[in-house]
Structure 1
Amino acid sequence: MKLERVLDYAHTLLEDVISEGDCVVDATAGNGYDTVFLANLVGNSGKVYAFDIQQQAINATNDRLSQADLTSRCAVILAGHEEVATYVTTPIKAAIFNLGYLPGADHTIVTKPNTTLTALDSILSQLVIGGVIVMIIYYGHDGGLEERDALLTFVAALPQKKINVLRYEFINQKNAAPFIIAIERIKA
């Protein structure tokens, strides 16, 4: 057995539930790696909605999708993830969040607890039974602890008869190592 790194495990969780034709969300497009990953999973009949508030992220994601010839499977949207309900009106099979800041960009532009909770609540309301939301929580930046704590409080209160919540982390790491919160809808 080999324990998977956080990002690898996030992808494993998503691979286990996403099939061709599914509707999925990349709530933080960033440099586009997760968007491409999701686009490969949903196939030609699926759809990925990728959100980011930074034009730099939108450009990087579009470039990466174009290089992989996957643009037709994706809607890359210059908007915060809290706007997901405005753009996604069909049932959602899976979503991924990489919380924190865009690597290689302005580190003062970070995800915020209020918008992340709005996005999470919105996606949860559209998540199908068997669907999964994977949140990679990077919190070693200004405001990161507040977002981490708000999310942990929110997910701890989700009804256990309808939703499973998993926390995956390496506890012997230094420097505020990222961890995963995975949310699975098990009942309506």
Structure 2
Amino acid sequence: MENYQITQWCHYFIREQVHEGDFCIDATCGNGHDTLLLCELVGDSGLVAGFDIQKEAVEKTETRLAETGMNGRGRIFCCGHEKMKEQLLQHEDCRKMLEQTADGYGKVSCIVFNFGYLPGGLHELATKAETSVVALEESLTILKRGGIISLCIYSGKDSGFEERDALLEYLKNLDRKKYLVIMSSYYNRPNHPPIPGLIIRI
């Protein structure tokens, strides 16, 4: 790893997971860094869908992809991540990628979540517990066998702890026969450091 930021921790596993031709989702685009990484990894034969409730974040992400020649690999939606499946089913390219396999699993290789607020954006527009849990539930229904969900959970300051606690409680109770949940921590860092984690569909 280049450094020990939470995004680098998550990117390590994302790079191990995503391959040419995969279908991936950035559930919280923010400034578009994760969306760009996914677009680079899926190649010309893959597809990335990105979501953010803030128009500013969507525009930044689209600009970032266009500047790097990756806009053909991404489909960006301005809506909350709890509506991702509904939006994907309305888009022809994405709908084809969502069709379930014969064993009933989805086809999405990797889904990326950053819970909190857009860096440099309005803190009152942070993700919320009630919609974030719904978004995770939706994600699990479209994740392929062996697929991963990358989690960055920020808490404290303006965003409080309600969302963090709700997410951790939800993750703790996932069916262990279907999912492996791995949570890490910056154990010796003060002031409520972010929590990185992974969900792996078994």
Matched residue, 1:166: 182
- TM superposition shift of 1:87: 2.5
TM-score, structure 2 normalization: 0.88
Cα separation, partners in 2 of 1:56 and 1:167, compared to 1, 3 Å:
same
Provide the secondary structure at the position in 1 that maps to 2:135. Answer: helix
Partner of 1:47: 47
Verify: 1:6 aligned to 2:22, yes or no.
no
What are the equivalent positions in structure 2 for 1:82-97 lying under 5 Å apart? 82-88=82-88, 89=95, 90=98, 91-97=107-113
From 101, 115, 129, give the equivalent of 2:145.
Answer: 129
How far apart, CA to CA, are the structure 2 residues paired with 1:148 and 1:173? 17
Partner of 2:103 in structure 1?
none
Please point out which of 97, 113, 131 is paired with 1:115: 131
**Residue-by-residue CA offset, 1:62-119 (whole Å, 9 max, x unaligned):** 1100111000100110000011111334121111111100111111110001111111
Per-residue deviation, residues 119-177 of structure 1 (Å, max 9, x unmatched) = 11111011111100011001123343111111111110111121100011111111211
**TM superposition shift of 1:5:** 3.2
CA offsets per residue over residues 33-89 of structure 1, 9 Å max, x none?
Answer: 110011001111111111001111011101100111000100110000011111334
Q: Map 1:16-165 to 2 at 5 A.
A: 16-88=16-88, 89=95, 90=98, 91-165=107-181
Amino acid paired to 1:61: T
Secondary structure, counterpart of 1:142 in structure 2: helix
RMSD: 1.6
| Distance of 1:3 and 1:30 partners within structure 2 | 21
Percent identity (aligned) = 39
> Which of 175, 183, 188 is 2:199 aligned to?
183
Does structure 1 retain, via aligned residues, the 8 Å contact 2:180–2:200?
yes
Unaligned runs of 5+ in 1: none
**TM-score between the two structures when normalised by the length of structure 1:** 0.94
Question: Partners of 1:21 and 1:149 in 2: how far apart?
Answer: 35
Deviation of 1:10 after TM superposition, in Å, equals 0.2
CA distance in 1, matches of 2:85, 2:2: 38
Q: Which amino acid aligns with 1:174?
A: P
Amino acid at match of 2:53: I
The answer (yes or no) to whether the contact 2:123–2:159 under 8 Å persists in 1 is no
Letter in structure 2 aligned against 1:103 = P
Partners of 2:179 and 2:129 in 1: CA distance: 21
